[in-house]
Amino acid sequence: MRKLFLDVSAAATAAGIVLFARLVTAVRGLWSGSEPVARQRVYFANHSSNGDFVLLWTVLPPRMRRATRPVAGADYWNSSALRRFIGRRVFRALLIERGAGEQGGIAAVQQMSAALDNGHSLIIFPEGTRNLTDTPLLPFRSGLYHLAQARPTVDLVPVWIAHLNRVLPKGEVVPVPLLCTVTFGESLHVKEGEGRDAFLERASSALLSLAEESSR
């Protein structure tokens, strides 16, 4: 009975979050080079707001949304009962322990690989932290490359999230209504013999191209 109650509560909360996100941002999902089809993917996006994965998750069709898990920091989502409920039950986030150095990075790639093996899609942020600078993107960390190597057949889809940092600036709790877009680009795969730096540069360039497209 308790599980049923939690499942129903999670579904209702998810529906409320989607409705709220759409009301505040009037968000549009733009598919440029990819199609909204039920195919396993890793969506990698720019990261400038705490609400980034919520907006990306919101614009996915319901069937795709149910199969897609954001990758997020365990320290944040385990810090209170409410956050645990939302992170684990509503978003079904894949919670990663942060700050454990190289071994932690290896463990994170193993967790993500296992989630892919179980049929899930993932949302990740290769910058690793929120970008609060004036540059469009921070340098990518190596996790995306190692994941691409570990599961080379999985589509890696670049996603540019525009304007959300102005809807919910750092330190603010009340969102400012503003039109946002989430643009999905053409999928990538690591090429045979492609090194880490070359791949990450190509992935970063794919995101920046979507940023230019969304600003037109």
HSE at residue 32, side-chain half, CA atoms within 13 A, is 19
pLDDT computed for residue 143 by the predictor = 93
* Per-residue confidence (pLDDT) for residue 132, from 0 to 100: 84
- pLDDT top residue among 59 and 24: 59
pLDDT tens digits for range 117-172 = 999 999 999 998 888 888 999 999 999 999 999 999 999 999 999 877 666 656 55
Reduce the DSSP state of residue 182 to 3 states and report it.
strand
The full set of domain ranges for the chain reads 2-214
pLDDT at 39: 92
**Calpha distance 101→86 (Å, rounded):** 27
pLDDT per residue as tens digits for the range 175-213: 666 788 999 999 999 999 999 999 999 999 999 999 888
Q: What is the pLDDT of residue 2?
A: 80
Distance in angstroms (rounded) separating the CA atoms of residues 1 and 114: 30
- For the entire predicted model, the pTM comes to 0.91
Q: Which helix (H) or strand (E) holds 123?
A: strand 121-124
Say which range, 80-84, 86-90, 136-140, 169-173, has the weakest mean pLDDT.
169-173
Note the helical H segments in 52-190: 52-59, 62-66, 74-77, 81-84, 101-117, 143-150, 164-167
Architecture of domain 2-214: 3-Layer(aba) Sandwich (3.40)
* Per-residue confidence (pLDDT) for residue 193, from 0 to 100: 92
> How many of the other CB atoms lie within 10 Å of CB of 160?
25
pLDDT of residue 69: 96
pLDDT above 70: percentage of residues in the chain: 91
